[in-house]
Structure 1
Amino acid sequence: MSDDSVRLSLRIHDECNGSDVFGSDICTCRPYLIFGIEEAVKEAQNGGSGVVIYFRKEGRALGEVTKRGADRASDYFTRTENIAGVKDMRFQALMPDILHWLGVKKIDRMLSMSK
Structure 2
Amino acid sequence: MTENLSMRQQKIARQIQRDMADIFSKEAASFLQGAMVTVTAVRVSPDFGYAKIYVSVFPFDRSTAVMAVLDKQNWLLRRSLGQRVHNQLKTVPEIQFFLDDSLEYIDNIDQLLREEK
TM-score (norm 1): 0.30
Higher strand share: 2
Q: Which has the higher contact order (CA 8 A, sep 6+)?
A: 1
